[in-house]
Amino acid sequence: MFEKEGFTMQLSYTILDVFTQKRLQGNPLAVIHDADMIPDKLMQAIAKELNLSETVFVQSPKNARHVAELRIFTPSVELPFAGHPTIGAAVLLGLRQKVTAIRLEEKVGTIVALTTPKNKSMGHARFSLPKLPERVGDAPSVEDIARTLGLEVEDIGAGELIPAIYSAGVPYVLVPVRCEAVLSSIKLERRGWQDVFDGESREVYAFAPTKDDRHAQFASRAFVEMDDLREDPATGSAAAALCGLLSDQLFDEDGLVDFSVKQGVDMGRPSLIEAQIKRENGELVHAGIGGHVIILATGTLFLDEDE
C-alpha cells in the first residue's frame, strides 16, 4: 500500500525466510508492496537501510497477463535476476492472490513460477530459468583461489569437477572443493581479493559433494560483494549457475536430473535449494530451481516525501 499523510509515505512490507521451512533459517528477504511510485534512488536507499542480501519491490506488470514486475536490489546495486527473491515473491503473491501459476517480469526476462501453499504463512515455489546457465569465463588459477580461500592447492577440485565462471543472469566463480570438511574450513583472505577475482565475477560460490546426506547432494558457501565482502546464507542465482557447470562436467548424459544444495550451515542459517537440469542430444535444454518459503513479519515503512 502506498499512501501519503502530510509529508510521509507509508509502504507496507513483508519479511520472508527463503529456502527453509523454519523461521530464522534460510535467507531473509524483504518484499516491498505496491512499489509503482517509488523512484529508483529511493529503492536503493531502502535496500541499503534494510541491509539484507536482497530486497524486492513489487510493481504492476507491463503485461496484463502477468502477476507483477519485480525490481531486485542488494544494498548497493540492482540485479537483473536473483533466485531467492523470485522464489520468495512467488510464494507470497501466490498466498495473497490464491493462485498457483505466477508470471513475474524481471530484467532477465519473464519467469513462470509454480507455487504450492502449505498453510497461510508457508509455501513452495519452483521455476524454470529464463536464461539457461552458460560458461562465461575461466576461473583464476588454482593457486590464487586456494590462497584467497585459505585452503591448500590440493583442496581445490572434486573428482572431475574444476573451477569455472558460469552465469544464468548473474556470473559466479564456481569453485568445487574436495569435501564438506574443506568447505567448512574456508577462511577468506580479503587482501588481494579484487586482484584475484578481476574477471567476469568477484562473487565466489564454493561447493562440495556431500556424503551420506539424504537431503542434499551438494553443500555450498557463497561469498559475495555487496557493500563489503560477506557470506550469503542461500544463493539461488549461484545454484542456477551451478546447474550449468554440473551439466558440462558431471551430469553430461541426456535425461532429467534432480539434486539439492544445502547452504548457510556454517552461518547457523541452514538452507536447502532444489535444482533440476535436463539434457537432450548432448545439450542443456532446461534448468530450474525451487524451495520453501515462510513468512516471518509484516510492517510499514514511514518515509519523508522528499527522500
Domain CATH number, residue 27: 3.10.310.10
Residues known to be catalytic: 54
Per-residue confidence (pLDDT) for residue 306, from 0 to 100: 65
Per-residue confidence (pLDDT) for residue 7, from 0 to 100: 47
Same domain, 104 and 214: no
Mean pLDDT of the chain: 95
Instruction: Kindly give, in sequence order, each residue whose CB lies less than 8 Å from that of residue 27, ignoring residues fewer than 6 positions away.
Output: 17, 18, 19, 20, 53, 84, 232, 233, 234, 235, 264, 269, 271
Same domain, 7 and 111: yes
Same domain, 198 and 110: no
Residue-wise pLDDT tens for the chain (307 aa)?
A: 444 455 478 999 999 999 999 999 999 999 999 999 999 999 999 999 999 999 999 999 999 999 999 999 999 999 999 999 999 999 999 999 999 999 999 999 999 999 999 999 999 999 999 999 999 999 999 999 999 999 999 999 999 999 999 999 999 999 999 999 999 999 999 899 999 999 999 999 999 999 999 999 999 999 998 678 899 999 999 999 999 999 999 999 999 999 999 999 999 999 999 999 999 999 999 999 999 999 999 999 998 866 5
Number of domains making up the chain: 2
First CA to last CA distance, the chain: 17
**CA 222 – CA 150 distance, rounded (Å):** 15
Three-class DSSP category at 38:
coil
Same domain, 114 and 144: no
Same domain, 112 and 166: no
Three-class DSSP category at 7:
coil
* Partner residues linked to 111 by β-bridges: 104
Same domain, 116 and 159: no
Span 82-136, pLDDT tens digits:
999 999 999 999 999 999 999 999 999 999 999 999 999 999 999 999 999 999 9
Q: State pTM to two decimals.
A: 0.95
Per-residue confidence (pLDDT) for residue 304, from 0 to 100: 80
**CA 139 – CA 142 distance, rounded (Å):** 8
**CA 172 – CA 165 distance, rounded (Å):** 6
The range of the structural domain enclosing residue 124 comes to: 2-130+293-304
* Partner residues linked to 273 by β-bridges: 261
